[in-house]
C-alpha cells in the first residue's frame, strides 16, 4: 500500500512540474517561435517625456513622467554600476553664449553623477562621441570615460546612442542627450525600464560593444564578435515579458550592422519589420525625415524607409501619419521629401491615407528665443496597431548605416489597457491634434 501511495504521489508531483512548464510556454504562430515565460518576470515599463517649458495641452490629455525625474530615480537607486552611452554632454550649460536658469535640472543630474563618480563602490562608465568639459570633470572625480571615434572605424558617422544601464536591472533608452536643454527646452520621448534584469543585461551587451570599440588598444571592429557579445533576444525570437500587469514581446536593436554581434537585430531591419506588420495604422514622430544620406558629399538617395511607408499606405491601405519637426536647423530638403510623401493622398484612382504635419515648439519668451539649439520636437518613435518602436536615430541613411544607435521594440501579447503601445498612441494623437502642428504644403 505504501509503495502504491508513494508512486501515486510521485506521479502527481511529476505531472504538476510538467504542467507548470507547459503553461509557461507561449507559442506565437504568426512569428513561428516558442518563448519561455517566467512567472517571476515583473518588469516595469514607463514612457517618459521631456516637455519644453510652457508647452501645454488641453486638460485631460495624457501626461508622462519627466525624463529628469526618471533619470534621477535611476541614479539614486544605483548601487553597483552606472553605464552611460551618450552622443554629447552639456549638462553644465557651458556650450551656449546665453545663460538660462532652466539649466537647473541638468546641473542637478551632473551633481548627482559627480557624487556617484567619487563613490568607490559604484562603477561609473561613460562612452561618448566627443570629449567634453562635463566628462573631463567626471573623470577627474573617478568616472571611467572613453570616447568612441566611429569616423575612424567606418570613415563616417557618430555615436548617437542615448542609453543608460543601471545595476544590470534598469535601463533608459530614448531621444534625450545628456544636455540641460533635453530636460526643459526640448521635447523628448523615451522608455524607462525597471526591475528587468533580462532586458538590462541585454542592453549591457550593447554598452559593452561600445566600451570595447572605444578602447585605446582596440584594433578595429572584429571580423566576428566574440560569443559573450551575442544575444538570443531579437526580431526572430523576442522575449516574452510580464510588465505593468500585462505581457509583451520585447527586444533591442542596434545600428550600424557592423556593431551587431550574433543574434542582434540590425536597427533598420527592426524598423522595416514594424512597418510591414502594421495592419491598420502607422504613426511616426521624428525630428528629421529624409530618404537620403544627409552628411555625404555628394548626397545619395536612400529610399529604404520611404519605399516601405509608400507600399504600406498604397497596397495595404494603412493609415499613415508622419509628424516631423520644424525648427531653425531643419534641413530645407526635408520639406520637399515630406510633400512628395503627402501628395500620394491626392491620387484620383487609388485612395491612400497619408498625412504629414510639422511640429513646431515655439519660444514663448524672449529668453527662450535666445537659447541655442533648443525649442524642438526631438523624439524618434513609431507606433502601430501592433508595435511600439522607440529609437535614438533620426530617419536618414546615415543614421542606420554608419551611426551608432539603439531602439526598443515592443509588441503587445494581450489586450490589456495598461499597454505601453496604447499609451504611445495617446501621446502621438495628443501631439498630432495640438495647436503646435501645421500641415505640410
Annotated catalytic sites, by residue?
Answer: 160, 162, 167, 378, 380, 385
Q: How many whole angstroms separate alpha carbon 71 and alpha carbon 210?
A: 21
Q: Which three cell numbers stand for residue 298?
A: 555628394
Pairing assessment for the beta strands 354-359 and 319-325 based on DSSP bridges: parallel
Please report the DSSP string for 163-208 in residue order: EEEETTTEEEEES--EETHHHHTSBEEEEEEES-HHHHHHHHHHHH
Between the CA of residue 231 and those of 38, 161, 302, what are the distances in Å?
18, 19, 29
For the CA atoms of 150, 159, 276, 250, the dihedral, rounded to the nearest 10 degrees, stands at 120
Residues contacting residue 277 through CB under 8 Å, at least 6 positions apart: 384, 386, 387
CB 152 within 8 A of CB 78: no
Q: How many whole angstroms separate alpha carbon 419 and alpha carbon 411?
A: 9
Please classify residue 254 by burial: count the beta carbons closer than 10 Å to its beta carbon, then call 0-12 exposed, 13-18 middle and 19+ buried. buried
3-state DSSP call for residue 282? strand
Between the CA of residue 408 and those of 8, 9, 74, 233, 301, what are the distances in Å?
48, 46, 18, 12, 27
Q: How many whole angstroms separate alpha carbon 395 and alpha carbon 381?
A: 10
Q: Which three cell numbers stand for residue 386?
A: 501592433
Q: How many whole angstroms separate alpha carbon 81 and alpha carbon 75?
A: 10
User: Residue 92 forms beta bridges with which residues?
Assistant: none
3-state DSSP call for residue 386? coil
Contacts 24+ apart (CB under 8 A), 361-365: 361/52, 361/55, 361/186, 361/187, 361/327, 361/436, 362/436, 364/53, 364/54, 365/54
Residues contacting residue 436 through CB under 8 Å, at least 6 positions apart: 55, 359, 360, 361, 362, 377
Amino acid at each position: 500500500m505504501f509503495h502504491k501511495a508513494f508512486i501515486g504521489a510521485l506521479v502527481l508531483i511529476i505531472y504538476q512540474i510538467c504542467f507548470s512548464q507547459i503553461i509557461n510556454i507561449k507559442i506565437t504562430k504568426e512569428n513561428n517561435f516558442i518563448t519561455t515565460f517566467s512567472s517571476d518576470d515583473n518588469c516595469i515599463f514607463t514612457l517618459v517625456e521631456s516637455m519644453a517649458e510652457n508647452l501645454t495641452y488641453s486638460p485631460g490629455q495624457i501626461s508622462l513622467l519627466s525624463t529628469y525625474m526618471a533619470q534621477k530615480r535611476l541614479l539614486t537607486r544605483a548601487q553597483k554600476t552606472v553605464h552611460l552611452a551618450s552622443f554629447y554632454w552639456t549638462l553644465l550649460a557651458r556650450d551656449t553664449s546665453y545663460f538660462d536658469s532652466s539649466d537647473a535640472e541638468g546641473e542637478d543630474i551632473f551633481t548627482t553623477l559627480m557624487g556617484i563618480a567619487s563613490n568607490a563602490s559604484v562603477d561609473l562608465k561613460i562612452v561618448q562621441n566627443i570629449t567634453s568639459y562635463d566628462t573631463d570633470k567626471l573623470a577627474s572625480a573617478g568616472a571611467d570615460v572613453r570616447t568612441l571615434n566611429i569616423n575612424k572605424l567606418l570613415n563616417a558617422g557618430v555615436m548617437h546612442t542615448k542609453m543608460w544601464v543601471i545595476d544590470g536591472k534598469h535601463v533608459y533608452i530614448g531621444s534625450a542627450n545628456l544636455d540641460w536643454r533635453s530636460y526643459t527646452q526640448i521635447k523628448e520621448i523615451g522608455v524607462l525600464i525597471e526591475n528587468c534584469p533580462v532586458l538590462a543585461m541585454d542592453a549591457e551587451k550593447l554598452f559593452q560593444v561600445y566600451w570595447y570599440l572605444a578602447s585605446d588598444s582596440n584594433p578595429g571592429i572584429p571580423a566576428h564578435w566574440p560569443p559573450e557579445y551575442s544575444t538570443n533576444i531579437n526580431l526572430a525570437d523576442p522575449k516574452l515579458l510580464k510588465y505593468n500587469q500585462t505581457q509583451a514581446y520585447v527586444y533591442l536593436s542596434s545600428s550600424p550592422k557592423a556593431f551587431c554581434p550574433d543574434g542582434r537585430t540590425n536597427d533598420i531591419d527592426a524598423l522595416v519589420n514594424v512597418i510591414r506588420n502594421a495592419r491598420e495604422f502607422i504613426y511616426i514622430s521624428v525630428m528629421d525625415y529624409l530618404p537620403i544620406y544627409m552628411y555625404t558629399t555628394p548626397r545619395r538617395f536612400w529610399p529604404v524607409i520611404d519605399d516601405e511607408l509608400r507600399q504600406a499606405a498604397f497596397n495595404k491601405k494603412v493609415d499613415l501619419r508622419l509628424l516631423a519637426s520644424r525648427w531653425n536647423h531643419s534641413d530645407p530638403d526635408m520639406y520637399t521629401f515630406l510633400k512628395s510623401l503627402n501628395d500620394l493622398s491626392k491620387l484620383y484612382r487609388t485612395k491612400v491615407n497619408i498625412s504629414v504635419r510639422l511640429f513646431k515648439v515655439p519660444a514663448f519668451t524672449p529668453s527662450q528665443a535666445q537659447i541655442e539649439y533648443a525649442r524642438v520636437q526631438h523624439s524618434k518613435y513609431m507606433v502601430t496597431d501592433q508595435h511600439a518602436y522607440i529609437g535614438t536615430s533620426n530617419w536618414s541613411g546615415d543614421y542606420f548605416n554608419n551611426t551608432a544607435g539603439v531602439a526598443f521594440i515592443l509588441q503587445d501579447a494581450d489586450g490589456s489597457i495598461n499597454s505601453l503601445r496604447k499609451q504611445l498612441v495617446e501621446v502621438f494623437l495628443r501631439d498630432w491634434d495640438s495647436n503646435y502642428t501645421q500641415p505640410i504644403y
